[in-house]
């Protein structure tokens, strides 16, 4: 009778061991797949590929806020020479405009160094500064002004960034732009 009980205990231990090993293998496979997906998503051949809305991988990364600041910096650094900074989405927005949505000044500065015209306009005639004012991104507004963005440039509706900040109720941005226009 003891032999039978011992065999059952051994079988139960073996089942638990196989269960744990199977779980570990499953987790390892999932991490591998996530790693492969991330590398595929950020590979040099795909960095400039556009989706049906004209967004590149970097534009998605900047607009979705799914990656932290260091991951964005790494994506830019790893692909610096491969990124086409002239690409625009279907709304005429470039990578700098997407960096404004993200809002970090060091990323904006890094991207601004790579583009020819900080005052480039989208299909609505808005610049990165217009968008920063519209979305209440004070740090982005200050950085763009520091980099030489034109605070008096008008969009297709003849609105300046200061007009947009006032309309949207971003008093701090309005006051900042007001102080820079004097």
Q: What is the pLDDT along the chain (182 residues), one digit of tens a residue?
A: 555 555 555 555 566 777 778 788 888 777 766 766 666 555 545 899 999 989 998 998 888 776 788 888 999 999 989 999 999 999 999 999 999 988 889 999 999 999 999 999 999 999 999 999 999 999 999 999 999 999 999 999 999 999 999 999 999 999 999 999 87
Which one, of 95, 180, 89, lies nearest residue 138 by Cα? 180
Q: Which residues have C-beta within 8 Å of that of residue 129, sequence separation ≥ 6?
A: 119, 141, 144, 145, 149, 150, 151, 153, 161
> Treating both helix axes as pointing N-terminal to C-terminal, what angle do 69-78 and 105-112 enclose, rounded to 10 degrees?
20
Eight-state DSSP code of residue 144: H
C-alpha to C-alpha distance for 89 and 97, rounded to whole angstroms: 10
d(CA 136, CA 69): 19
By residue count, the chain amounts to: 182
Domain 46-181 is in which class? mainly alpha
Tokens of 47: 């960095």
Please indicate, yes or no, whether the overall pTM of this predicted structure exceeds 0.85. Answer: no
For residue 164 the two structure tokens come to 């947009």
CA angle 37, 39, 44 (to 5 degrees): 130
């Amino acid at each position: 009778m003891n032999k039978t009980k011992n065999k059952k205990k051994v079988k139960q231990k073996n089942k638990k061991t196989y269960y744990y090993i199977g779980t570990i293998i499953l987790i390892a496979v999932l991490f591998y797949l996530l790693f492969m997906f991330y590398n595929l998503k950020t590979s040099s051949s795909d960095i400039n590929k556009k989706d049906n809305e004209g967004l590149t991988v970097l534009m998605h990364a900047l607009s979705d806020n799914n990656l932290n600041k260091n991951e964005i910096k790494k994506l830019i650094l790893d692909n610096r020479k491969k990124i086409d900074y002239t690409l625009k989405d279907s709304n005429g927005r470039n990578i700098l405009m997407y960096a404004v949505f993200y809002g970090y000044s060091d990323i904006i500065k890094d991207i601004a160094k790579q583009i020819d015209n900080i005052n480039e306009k989208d299909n609505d005639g808005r610049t990165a500064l217009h968008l920063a004012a519209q979305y209440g991104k004070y740090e982005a507004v200050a950085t763009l002004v520091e980099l030489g963005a034109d605070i008096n440039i008008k969009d297709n509706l003849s609105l300046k960034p200061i007009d947009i900040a006032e309309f949207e109720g971003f008093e701090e941005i309005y006051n900042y732009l007001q102080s820079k226009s004097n």
